[in-house]
Amino acid sequence: QVQLVQSGAEVRKPGASVKVSCKASGYIFTSYYMHWVRQAPGQGLEWMGRVNPTGGSTSYAQRFQGRVTMTRDTSTSTVYMELSSLTSEDTAVYYCTRSIGVTGDYFDFWGQGTLVTVSS
Amino acid sequence: DIQMTQSPSSLSASVGDRVTITCRASQSIARSLNWYQQKPGKAPKLLVYGASSLQSGVSSRFSGSGSGTDFTLTISSLQPEDFATYYCQQSSSPLPWTFGQGTKVEIK
């Protein structure tokens, strides 16, 4: 069965960086794009970007450009999302989710979420 | 970026009620519209994709319709497990994909 298992909760100070992992299993890793979506406390869902596991190419939401890096390791079927220059506004649950990668696409499986808390 | 606007932001309904949630896109997205259900502390769950296709394993009391800029999610007979927050999401080209702000369905 398809599973996306994320790393555990993190606490960081303002200005620091955080790296969250998402290990995929139960399907062909390189057949699906992996996206990152975040949700601040009590707020809605925000798409951050995606990585193509086949070649590693990325697309990021403009508001995160220069601050986010998404990578993948095909040997372990794991994707990573690193966010730098953290502020309190980055406190959120971060989800990885997969899609096939075409127009009209959808997120059919999600990780369990990783809470990142930014606090001095 | 394409803006997605859901209405209402919240609603109160009783078990057995028919519930309709609407989602409007700021420009045409054809049928590239998906619906998700989220319960507190859980990841979102895909309900409907491509505006009207029911995801495998999802109850047939959920249905979606629409195209272009206007879409609806209907729950034909609300059940206790349906109390949750619902999000629409567009997957038109080009990126970024965007979500509506959510509709919280509460018990009346």
Say whether A45 and B34 touch across the interface (CB within 8 A): no
DSSP state at residue B80: G
Residue A103 has pLDDT above 80, yes or no: no
A108, pLDDT greater than 80: yes
Tell me how close the Cα of A93 comes to any Cα of chain B, in angstroms.
10
Count the Cβ atoms, other than its own, within 10 Å of residue B76: 15
Of the pLDDT bands very low, low, confident and very high (cuts 50, 70, 90), residue B3 is very high
Q: What span, in angstroms and rounded, lies between the C-alpha atoms of A77 and A6?
A: 12
The mean pLDDT of A62-68, rounded to a whole number, is: 97
Average of per-residue pLDDT across A33-61: 97
CB A110 within 8 A of CB B44: yes
B14-73 tens-digit pLDDT: 999 999 999 999 999 999 999 999 999 999 999 999 999 999 999 999 999 999 999 999
What type of residue is A108?
D
The structure tokens listed for A105 are 């696409």
The DSSP code sequence of B25-54 is ESS--TT-EEEEEE-TTS--EEEEETTTEE
Q: How far is A111 from chain B (nearest CA, A)?
A: 7
Asked if the model's pLDDT at residue B107 lies above 90, the reply is: no
pLDDT value for A104: 81
Give the model's pLDDT for residue A102.
Answer: 79
Cβ contact A106–B43 (<8 Å): no
Confidence band for A16, pLDDT divided at 50, 70 and 90: very high
Is residue A9 helix, strand or coil? coil
CA atoms within 13 A on the CB side of A20: 29
Residue that the structure tokens 């997120």 belong to:
A107
**Does A45 contact B30 at a Cβ distance shorter than 8 Å?**
no
Q: Which residues does chain B have within 8 Å of residue A107's beta carbon, measured at their own beta carbons?
A: 34, 36, 44, 46, 89
Backbone angles phi, psi at A89, to 5 degrees: -70, -10
